[in-house]
Chains A and B, each alone.
Chain A
Amino acid sequence: AQSVTQLGSHVSVSEGALVLLRCNYSSSVPPYLFWYVQYPNQGLQLLLKYTTGATLVKGINGFEAEFKKSETSFHLTKPSAHMSDAAEYFCAVSESNAGNMLTFGGGTRLMVKP
């Protein structure tokens, strides 16, 4: 069965600092991995995804994530945080043998200090 763990329910960074949001997964088959972002009072929108191919994937708003099979990780990074990055971030995994249904992590709320 697939599962996702996001380390840190809350992360606080200063504006301009590196953003690192951690995601580890378990999967019995090669996974598909996703990051979603939820801005206040909005629904979830896709930030980036890994399916196959290049393990470093780039998403919207300067975010990127690297799939590391040996570490079963898919951490989300951004070199320089902006105030507008304050949101909740969800990591998710799906497996082709699970009908491509997503399993979500518990979410990480990112706070950006001026």
Chain B
Amino acid sequence: DADVTQTPRNRITKTGKRIMLECSQTKGHDRMYWYRQDPGLGLQLIYYSFDVKDINKGEISDGYSVSRQAQAKFSLSLESAIPNQTALYFCATSDPNRNYGYTFGSGTRLTVV
């Protein structure tokens, strides 16, 4: 199994629908992150969590919410999806005590029509 698993891998949804993207990890890391990737814009941080009770907004949190259900699980929700939220979404984890960088999931490709 992958260290960081994202579900679904692909999703097409309609404007106005609520959708949840899920992320689970087996790394035992306290820190988890959600990023959005758009062509030519690199990675933009949506939300991050340093532990179950510590959740922080990133640079582009408007229109998104998150839930850290356990150390291993961090979900991203779009309460009312809009077409400009069409993007590739990545979850990542890190160990704050070791500067080894992040471990990324394989991504969720979301299309809002």
Contact = CB atoms under 8 A, between A and B. Distances in A.
A106 B40 CA distance: 7
Interface string A69-106: 00000000000000000000010101010011110111
Interface stretch (B13-21, B41-49, B76-84): B41-49
A26 to B, nearest CB: 16
A14 B48 CA distance: 40
Contacts of A96: 99
Interface string B23-64: 000000000000000001111000010100000000000000
A79 B27 CA distance: 34
Contact of B90 (A32, A44, A46, A49): A44
Interface in A1-27: 9
A106 B41 contact: yes
Interface residues of B, number: 19
A13 to B, nearest CB: 20
Contacts, number: 48
Contact of B104 (A43, A51, A94, A99): A43
B107 A43 contact: yes
A105 B101 contact: no
Interface string A21-62: 000000000001010100000111110010100000000000
Contacts of A44: 90, 92, 102, 104
Given A102-B101, A104-B42, 6 more contacts: A43-B105, A43-B106, A90-B42, A92-B101, A102-B102, A106-B40
The 8 closest A-B pairs by CB, nearest first: A106-B42, A43-B104, A44-B104, A43-B106, A104-B43, A107-B42, A34-B101, A32-B99
Interface of B: 4, 40-43, 48, 50, 90, 92, 94, 96, 99-102, 104-107
